[in-house]
Structures are given as C-alpha cells and as structure tokens.
Amino acid sequence: MSFSGHTARKRFGQHWLRDARVLDQIVSAARLQQDDRVLEVGPGRGALTERLLASAAAQIHAIELDRDLVQGLHDRFGAQSRFSLREGDVLDAPLHLGDGGFANKVVANIPYNITGPLLARLIGRLDRPVEPTYDCLVLLLQKEVAERIRAQPGRSSFSALSVRMQLLADCSLVCPVPPRCFQPPPKVQSEVILLKPFPPERRLPIDLASRVEALLKQAFQARRKMLRNTLAGVIEPQILEPLAASVGISLQQRPQEVAAEAWVALARGLNQDV
C-alpha cells in the first residue's frame, strides 16, 4: 500500500510537515547519538521518520493511530531493523519498544487537540512526574501553547501551564513553523520546542509539589484578580500577608506576574506553617 490514496483527516488533526528545513531542525535539536532510542508520535507518512532513521540513533519506535497509514509505514520502513511501529492511540498505548525497553528521547508532531493529555503522559504533573524521565522531547506544537509553556512572568501568555512546565523541565524554542510548512496548512501558527525534563534531584518533593498545584489552581482560575482576593479563601490573611512579603510577592499582583520560583517559595512557607 502507498500513501497516494490517503487524505489528511481532520478528526486525527493530521497536517503533514513537509518543510525540509524544519524537519532537519527537529532532528538536529534532538542531538541523536548511537545509544539513543527514539519514540516518534504520529509518524504520518514518514517524512520525519526517514530523517530519524538516517541519524545515528539506535532505534526508532513510532506510534500511529490511523490504521490506513500503518501498512504504508510498514511497507516503507519495515525492512529496517532499527524501526518498529505500534498501531494505537498514544494516550493509551504502551510506550515501551518492542524489546520491552523504553525510549530516552521523544520526537513528535503533536495533534493539537491532544496536547494537554499528551504532555501529561510524556512529562507528568508536578506531583506525579513520569518515571523514568526522558532525556529530551522535541515537540511541534500550536504556537499559542508553545508560548505559554516558555512564557516569562508578566506576559499575557504566562499561565499555570507555564509554571508547571518550567518546574518540570528546561523549555526553549527551536524554530517557528508557519502554516505553509504543512500539507494541508493548519489555520494556526506552530513552533518546535525543546524540553529537557529535570532529573529526580531537581524535582520538587511531592508534598511541596502538591501545595504548588493547589495554589496555581486557586489563583489562575481568576487570573485577572489580585492575589489578595484569589488566595484569601484558602489562606488566612494573618498568615498570607507576612508570608507573601517574606518571599517577595505583592498581594496586589495578578497570578501571571509571579515567577515559578516565587510560587514554590510561597508553597514552602505554607507547608512549614502547617
């Protein structure tokens, strides 16, 4: 079977990345070495897969949901011993490779409608990070989401997602990806980002992570309001005011103005006060 009769399906969020420059930048960002085992999410017709197999990586394992693409991928790459393929939904399918081991790097052109759940599966939550962590993830995302992940405090794009991701991984931009780089072109701008999850010694203790999560949920559900109002319902004023001052937070600030490290400091102070 070839891919000639297959058309991109909206329900799967399929947009084929066809720009050679962007494809090369994705592979370059992953810095693939001879001992790397790569998980590719949504290989589609295999444009990126082809470049991954041309790299030094030891193994490329792909997960594809669209059964009409699976046979074409087998036909195109099945003869290569370094390639394996699983048909299934990446949100549910086992992520281990054919030999039972796990990938140490992830490369993915993520369907934009599953970005949140997929990030949770590949990186985890503050109080429940993925084990073992990946060395890095190179992800093609909708620009709006990518900007939120790497946004700095004070920007309109800074959100609870920004805080969570920046406490779980180093986040950086690889390159912008305009719609013309895809077939069919999406209606939104995209970006490739590089995430390097923190090792266990750099992660927050579970009790502290849980407190940060609770604060973020409370504060960002009313992001336009001052912290004095959003946190008053969960922290008594006689505790909140001196604690916020001690960690350099003004209660007149909005949640998007408070850096990730300040949220951690506030949560640590609350845990010590309990």
Find, among 264, 244, 89, 69, the residue nearest to 166 by Cα.
Answer: 264
Task: Read off the pLDDT band of 1 (50, 70, 90).
Answer: very low
Cis peptide before 117 (omega within 30 of 0): no
Give residue 271's pLDDT band: very low, low, confident or very high (50, 70, 90). Answer: confident
Cβ–Cβ under 8 Å, residues 72 and 95: no
Q: In this predicted model, which residue has the larger pLDDT, 9 or 215?
A: 215
Please state, in angstroms and rounded to a whole number, the distance separating the CA atoms of residues 123 and 108.
13
Taking the CB of residue 91, how many other CB atoms lie within 10 A of it?
12
Residues 155-168 have a mean pLDDT of 96
pTM of the full structure:
0.91
Residue from 178, 171, 26 nearest 107 by CA: 26
Q: Which of the four pLDDT bands, split at 50, 70 and 90, describes residue 69?
A: very high
Mean pLDDT calculated for residue range 39-60: 96
76, two tokens: 């195109």
Average pLDDT over residues 173-189: 94
Strand partners, 190: 142, 177
CA atoms of 107 and 100, how far apart (whole Å): 19
- What pLDDT is stored for residue 234 in this prediction? 79
Beta partners for 169? 197
pLDDT of residue 4: 57
Task: List Cβ neighbours of 71 (8 Å cut-off, separation of 6 or more).
Answer: 1
Residue 127: φ, ψ to 5° = -95, 5
Q: Is the pLDDT of residue 7 over 50?
A: yes
Residue type, 78: G
Q: State the Cα–Cα distance between residues 64 and 89, nearest whole angstrom.
A: 7
pLDDT bracket for residue 24 (50, 70, 90): very high
Query: How much is the average pLDDT of 67-89?
Result: 93
Q: What is the mean pLDDT of residues 111-138?
A: 93
Are β-strands 83-87 and 59-64 bridged in parallel, bridged antiparallel, or unpaired? parallel
Write out the two tokens for 13: 């969020």
Give residue 8's pLDDT band: very low, low, confident or very high (50, 70, 90).
Answer: low
**What's the pLDDT score for residue 273?**
63
- Percentage of the chain beyond pLDDT 70 is 94
- Of the listed ranges 203-212, 236-245, 246-255, 256-265, the one predicted with least confidence: 236-245
Cis previous bond, 132, omega within 30: yes
How high is the mean pLDDT of the chain? 92
